[in-house]
Amino acid sequence: MKTLLKTRTLEVGPLPGVPKMGGGAPIRVAFLVFPNFQPLDLSGPWQAFTTANEELGHVRYELATFGPEATASTPDGGLRILVGHSLAESVKWQPHTLVVPGGEGVYAASKDLALLECLRAQDRTTERTCSVCTGAFLLAATGLLDSHRVTTHWRTAERLRREFPRLDVADEQIFCESGKYWTTAGVTAGIDLALVLVERDCGALIAQRVARRLVVYLRRTGDQRQYSQTLRLQDRAGAPFAKLIEKIEAQLSLRWTVDDMAALCHMSRRSFQRKFKESFGVGPSDVLKILRSEREQQLSKAGHLPKKELARMMGTTTGRPRVD
């Protein structure tokens, strides 16, 4: 059964339940939609901007979709979207911010000369031109990203580097800002980008409220790694260490000793240390340091926690409670 999703159009007024327009002109945000697009690349940032409107109590962001066809579906064909406007209409609208999503269809779209010319025309008037995930390939095909530092999903970074050698590809970053060009890593990184733009436009308090509404665990900064050390450790962890890593990561403030870890894995201390090192290549205390260091970096960049509070959360203060 296919799902039909209709987006707001430019001609209609505010929909029921949408806040009334505030003072000053709203920020126009145009989202490109093409066949076989990645839905979360579109819906993630869209929802962040919509939630910002709701938190502000007025329409700060006016959102619209445009594309080469009247409809576009996801690669599995299960979700189909009605595209609000044609390429020509989107150029006349002169958006402030352009968002280009990724998806399997991005490579075919990169060969659409009319679409590429539309993006170039929009870029002449935009204040911000953005891509999410493999949308960077589409922007790169226009030549707009030449000599700029960019990022994309880590799985396609090498291909982007190979096909567009004029780009400076930072394949580990969550998102990159280079002049007015913003590029992001895969899928959920589009939400990270939208939160940063909301903070620029509306202030940190509104961005924080939007993040809480979206139940975003942590507002990530652009220079954080796409593929965290925690995930790398979880990938390498076999039973019974996978659950141990998850529990340590969830309770870093506890005083984790080797004996604590061994007991949770139902092993003797000696057997635990030997098998743990065989699995990870390093000892349990080294893994604990890695997990705490990464979390500390994330918290330091995401906010302004006092050093004492940060140390308590990382379990680096004296008198820490023991694990149950």
Name the residue ranges covered by the structural domains of the chain.
3-213, 229-313
pLDDT of 187? 73
Residue 81 has what DSSP assignment? Answer: E
State the pTM of this model. Answer: 0.68
C-alpha separations of 188 from 18, 102, 199, 226, 263 in Å: 25, 12, 17, 10, 36
What mean pLDDT is predicted for residues 197-216?
Answer: 91
pLDDT of 246? 80
Q: What is the CA radius of gyration of the chain?
A: 23
Q: Is 273 helix (H, G, I), strand (E, B) or coil?
A: helix
Q: Which run of H or E residues covers position 241?
A: helix 241-250
Here the tokens at position 47 are 């929802």
Residue 17 pLDDT > 50, yes or no? no
pLDDT of 235? 54
Considering the segment(s) 229-313 as one domain, its CATH architecture is Orthogonal Bundle (1.10)
Residue 21 pLDDT grade (very low, low, confident, very high; cuts 50, 70, 90): very low
> What class has domain 3-213?
alpha beta
Residue 237 pLDDT grade (very low, low, confident, very high; cuts 50, 70, 90): low
What mean pLDDT is predicted for residues 135-159?
Answer: 95
Same fold? 3-213, 229-313 = no
- Provide the mean pLDDT of the chain: 83
DSSP string computed for 159-226? HHHHH-TTSEE-TTBSEEEETTEEEE-STTHHHHHHHHHHHHHH-HHHHHHHHHHTT-S----TTSBS
Q: 166 — phi, psi (to 5°)?
A: -80, -10
Say how far residue 42 (Cα) sits from the centre of its chain.
11
Residue 87 pLDDT > 60, yes or no? yes
Residue among 214, 275, 216, 212 nearest 240 (CA): 275
pLDDT tens column, 300-322: 665 555 655 555 555 555 444 44
pLDDT of 242? 79
Better pLDDT: 203 or 250: 203
